[in-house]
Every structure is written in structure tokens, then in C-alpha cells.
Chain A
Amino acid sequence: MHGFSALELEALQISLKVSLWSVTWTFPLALGAAWLLARKDFKGKAVFNAIIHVPLVVPPVVIGYLLLVLLGRQGVIGSRLHDWLDIGLVFTWQGAAIAASVVAFPLFVRPIRQALEGVDPRLEEAAVTLGADRRQAFFAVTLPIVMPGIITGALLFFARALGEFGATITFAANIPGETQTLPLALYTATQTPGGDPIAMRLVLLSLLLALAALLTSEWLSRRPHFRLRRG
């Protein structure tokens, strides 16, 4: 068995960095969106819902191109980010993370929304009569009850972010050591003559990572604090 090369380990590291960072900063957004969809009625809710789900139904390349238009150096938002804050996202791992987050976002929102719809909002009312304000009631009652939905959403999101290819290569490009995640490195290997052994090792790494993610989420949802049976 050959050891993994520096390039391969770097791809693994970038993949992990991009996916974990995406999960972290997307979580509050996904929770907020799921809460709005599950609990609130507002004008334009159908449109809001459709926009969130768009990445599920369009090719990731389209998302990548849209991101380029919006956040690229010449983009509507990107040019301002660059001029005012000296932030550039194109060709950076942060750009790869944004691409992965947008594509995987609906997978995070859906399970949380479904879990929220299964929670009786009157439980929060009961918490309020016991002295919790609305915010405390949400965090002390509703959030723990929907935790299994959050874990499911986080896993689906994480897995989708790990596998992201089209939007990433379009928006953040395929730069070894910066934006070259496992799937991008694998793609490069398959395009290189004699790259098959490298490709096999990258496939192995991808499988190991996916397995680790599955086992972690299984372990999390089995912890007694999160295990719920409604009687």
C-alpha cells in the first residue's frame, strides 16, 4: 500500500476545510430559513421557498456562473467587496466554500423545516408561562426537539459540499493547494496520463471521509440527549 502524496493529502485537507467551514456558517442561515418556512406566513413565501430550492434543480455549473457574475471581480457585489474591503473570493478556498454552501443549502433547510413542523408551537407557549422569554423558549424547547433534523440536515449538507464539483470549478477554479478539493483532484488525475493510481487513492480517501461522516452523524443522533420518541 502506497502512502498518500502531499498533493492528495492537501486535497483532503482543503475538502475538509471547505465542508466544515460551510456547515458552520450556513447552520444559522439554514435554521433561520427553516424557521421562517415552518412557522411564519409572509408575503412572497412561495417565492422565497422556490429560491432556496433552486440549487436542487439547476446544474451546479449554472450556480457557479451566477456566483461569478455576482461575486466575481467585476460582479455586482464582488467589485464592491474588492474595492471597499479588499476581499476577493474568486480562486480562493472561501470562494469554494461559498459555492458548496449555495449548492447544498436546500439539503440543510429541508430536514430542519420538516422537524420544526412536527413540533407543537404551543410547547413554547408553555415554556413562556414558566418564565422563559420567546427566544429562550425556542432554544430550550424547540431546538433540542428538532436536533435529529438538524443532524440529518448537517450530514446531507456536508456530504453534498464534499462532492461539489461544477459550481466550485466554475467559480473558484481548480487550483492545487487552494481550491482543489478531492473531486477536483480526482478529475485532474483522470485527465492526466498515468494518473490512475492517484485516482484510486483519491477515491479511497473520498470513501473513507464519507464513511466517517456517516458514522459521526449516527453516533450523534444516538446520544440519549438527542434521542426522541414521542408517545
Chain B
Amino acid sequence: MLTIEAGHRFVDGTNVFRLDARLKTPDKGVTAIFGPSGSGKTTLLKIVAGLLRPDFVKIQVGDGVLCDTQHGAWVPPELRRIGYVFQDTRLFPHLSVKNNLTFGRRFNPPADEQALSFDAVVALLELNPLLDRPIHNLSGGESQRVAIGRALLANPRLLLLDEPLAALDAERKAEILPYLEGLRHSLDLPILYVSHSLAEIRRLATWLAVIDDGEIKAFGSVEDITGRMDLSPLSEDGDTGTVLAATVTEHVPTHGLTRLAAAGQTLLVTKLDLPPGAHIRVHVRPQDVALALEKPHKMSIINILDGFIDSILDSPGRPVVDVQINIGSTKRPVHLWAQVTRLAAQRLKLKADMPTYALIKAVSLDKDRFGLS
């Protein structure tokens, strides 16, 4: 487990910001920390890295206690072996790419066999063509890859990524994302990933902590947490929806489609370049889901999922309502959000526990809606 507890009062003139964050997350996979700007995301990372020393803090990675103010324990940042990838990369301008990468090795020579080798990191991030280049003629995306490689080669026990994509344009983001996905798959290293983009989180993270106003408001799997409309930072993002865990079952080459299994049901989507058996996640936007009380016939929508209504979120003044449908079983619920007009909800007399069909157009699930899990 990775345990983070931190409390601090920041006073800046008349502004007081209170950080009171408690988070326990598995020490495997990617845990995203999501929240609006000013919510304390970066502050939390700096505390974990030891760059800030708050009033109260306890950090534990696996069996290693890095600091615990109650017991007077404090490992200085240079001995924590926590890789930190900064949003602004902070590459060293006087060193070549290669010497930036090996910088940490001067201070943390790899003690065990498990440590990533230089060649492995270079291969993973495809840094070979960059090695002899000076820092100032790298593109934004290339700089970020070098920064990730530099952090990995310092032999970290935990990797912190502070909005590594935030400073990049859409094209550069698309260039980096596959590397981050690769990282997650090939490394046995817990990663804390700070982001204010739900789209990135859906693609990369397994766990999600929502932080707002210095407090962790919710923590759980990405599927569970992104399905919660009650968390204001999420619903304000304007890019909400459900993340379904799915498995590729087969390709249907005659129609250019791929069949997926999700919650024991079938989803057809346009062809994916993934082998059968691959585990993926599908982001379904609530506005792409329609509801029907009887199984429709003679209709273009090919994905018809069987379920029943769990709850209806109806806030006065909005012309639409959000309907949460359970497409799993009573024992193992799998939730899907659908957004319909209030008029439609009234006509159909939608209420909790009502059996319903959720209709999803295959073409609404374009390639941006998929992430590996």
C-alpha cells in the first residue's frame, strides 16, 4: 500500500488554504489525482517528494516509512527515491539528453538487478535518436519523454507525474500518451498521476482520487469514481460519463467491427487494433446513451444493453436528467449513465428499479473512447 497523510495550513496574506489529505492506494498501477486548479494536487505531490515539509505528514511506500511527523521520522528528499516528472520538465540546460538521463545514476547507482537499465529506458521511451541532442532543440513532447526517462533512471520506488501533458498541444499529447500507457504496462512501479483531464485519466489510470479544496473527496477505481455525478469537480468537467471494463472477444472483419464483452453483455464497436482477450476500458458519454422500455426493432442502433434503473439525478432548472442504469446484476452492479431530456423521462415515467434498455450507437464509441487496462 501507498499511504499518504498530510495536513498543512498555508497562509498567504489574508488567504488561508488548508490541506488535509488522506489517501491509501495500492502500490501497483496508476493512481490519478484529479481536481480543479488550486485544489492542492501539486502541493500534495511536493509533500510526497519531500520538497515541502508540512505541519503534519505521514508517507509510507510499501514497508518503507518516508516520513511520519508523529514519530519524528523524516527521510530527506534526495534519499527518498521518488521520481518526479514536472509539468515544465526542468531538464538541465547544460547537459545533453544522455547526461540528463544518467544524472540520477551519479547519486543513486542501481543497487539491485531489478533496476531499469539505461538501454531498457531508452527503448521504452524511444530516446535513441535524441541521445546526443542538446536540450534546447527538443520539442515539448520530446522534452517530456526525456524527463520521464531521467526520473526512471534514478531508480525510483514511486513515480510522480505532475500534469505531464498539460503544457502540450493536442498533437503532442497524442504523441506522448502511448508512451505513458507503455510505462504503465511494462513497469512494476506505482505511479501517482496528477491531472485535470478526465480523458487522460480514463486512458491511463486504474485508481482515481478526487481532490477539492485540499481534501480527498473520493477514492476508488476509475470505473466507480467517474460514474459518480455527485462529485462536483467531476460533473463540472463537462466530460463525464461511464467507464466500462470490457474484453475484446472477436473481430467481425466482414463488417469492420469488433465485438466486446462488458458486464456479461455484448458491445459492437468499429474495428479496434487489439487482439481478442485484450482488456480495455470504454468511455461512454451519457449523451450517447438512449433509453427504451421495450426492446426496439428496426432501428440503426446495434448496441442494446439490458438493465434496470438504479437512480435518477434530477436537479431543478435543468432540462435534462441523468439516469443511472445497472447493466450488471444485483450482486455485481455495473453502472452506466444516460442523459435524457426531462420531457422524455416524464413520458416514459422513468423511476428507480424499472427494467430498461440502454441503447448506444456504435459510432459514438470512436477511438478516443478506448483505453487499455
Q: Which residues of A contact B (CB under 8 A)?
A: 120, 122-123, 125-133, 136, 140-141, 144-145, 225, 228-231
Task: Report the Cα distance A229→B134, complex, angstroms.
Answer: 9
Known: A129-B49, A129-B84. 17 other contacts (CB 8 A): A122-B86, A123-B92, A123-B93, A125-B90, A126-B84, A126-B90, A129-B82, A130-B104, A130-B151, A136-B78, A136-B107, A140-B106, A141-B94, A145-B92, A145-B93, A230-B93, A231-B137
Number of A-B contacts (CB under 8 A): 71
Q: Which of A122, A131, A231 contacts B135 (CB 8 A)?
A: A231
Least Cβ distance of B43 to chain A in Å?
A: 14
Our pick among A126, A225, A228, A229 for the contact of B86 (Cβ within 8 Å) is A126
Cβ contact within 8 Å between A128 and B51: yes
Chain A residue nearest in CB terms to B107:
A131
Q: Is the CB of A127 within 8 A of B51?
A: no
* 29 A-B contact pairs sorted by A residue (CB < 8 Å): A122-B90, A125-B90, A126-B84, A127-B92, A128-B51, A129-B49, A129-B78, A129-B80, A129-B82, A129-B83, A129-B84, A129-B151, A130-B107, A130-B154, A131-B104, A131-B106, A131-B108, A131-B154, A132-B107, A133-B76, A136-B107, A140-B103, A140-B106, A141-B92, A141-B94, A145-B93, A145-B94, A230-B93, A231-B93
Chain A residue, CB-CB nearest to B104: A130
Cβ-defined contact, A131 with B78, below 8 A: yes
> 0/1 per residue, B237-251, Cβ < 8 Å to A?
000000000000000
Question: CB distance B150 to A130 under 8 Å?
Answer: yes
Structural contact, A128 and B78, CB atoms closer than 8 A: yes
Q: Chain B: interface residue count, which band? A: 20 to 34
Residue of A nearest to B82 (CB): A129
Say yes or no: B92 contacts A131, CB within 8 Å.
Answer: no
Task: Flag if B78 contacts A123 (CB, 8 Å).
Answer: no
Min C-beta distance of B199 to chain A, whole Å? 27
Q: How far is the CA of A188 from the CA of B18 in the complex (A)?
A: 73
Q: Give the docked Cα–Cα distance between A136 and B107 (Å).
A: 9
Residues from chain B with Cβ under 8 Å of A127 in the complex:
92, 103
What CA separation (Å) do A59 and B83 show in the bound complex?
54
Cross-chain contact B106 with A230 (CB below 8 angstroms): no
**B-side interface residues toward A, CB under 8 Å?**
49, 51, 76-84, 86, 88, 90, 92-94, 103-104, 106-108, 134-138, 150-151, 154
Q: A141–B90 Cα gap in the complex (Å)?
A: 11
Q: A131-B154, A228-B93 are in contact. Are A125 and B51 (CB under 8 A)?
A: yes
A120 CA to B135 CA, complexed, in Å:
15
Q: Which residue of B lies closest to A231 (CB)?
A: B136
Interface centre among B86, B93, B135, B151 (most CB of A within 10 A): B93
Rounded to whole Å, the gap between the CB of B148 and the closest CB of chain A is 13
Contact status A229-B78, CB under 8 Å? no
Beta-carbon nearest neighbor of A123 in chain B: B90
Q: A127-B103, A128-B51, A144-B94 are in contact. Are A133 and B137 (CB under 8 A)?
A: no
Nearest CB in chain A: distance from B145 CB, A? 16
Residue of B whose beta carbon sits closest to that of A137: B78
> Which 6 residue pairs of A and B lie closest in terms of their CB atoms, listed nearest first?
A231-B136, A131-B107, A130-B104, A126-B90, A129-B84, A131-B108
In the complex, what residues of A have CB within 8 A of residue B77's CB? 128-129
Give chain B nearest CB distance to A129 CB in angstroms. 4
Bound-state Cα–Cα, A228 to B51, Å: 28
Closest to B136 in A: A231
Q: How many Å lie between the Cα of A225 and that of B343 in the bound state?
A: 71
Contact across chains for B103 and A130 when beta carbons are under 8 A apart: yes
A231: chain B residues at CB < 8 Å are 93, 134-138
Central interface residue in A129, A133, A144, by most chain B CB within 10 Å: A129
Smallest CB–CB gap between B195 and chain A, Å? 19
- Cα distance A131–B77 when bound, in Å? 8
Most chain A C-beta atoms within 10 Å of own C-beta, residue among B83, B90, B106: B90
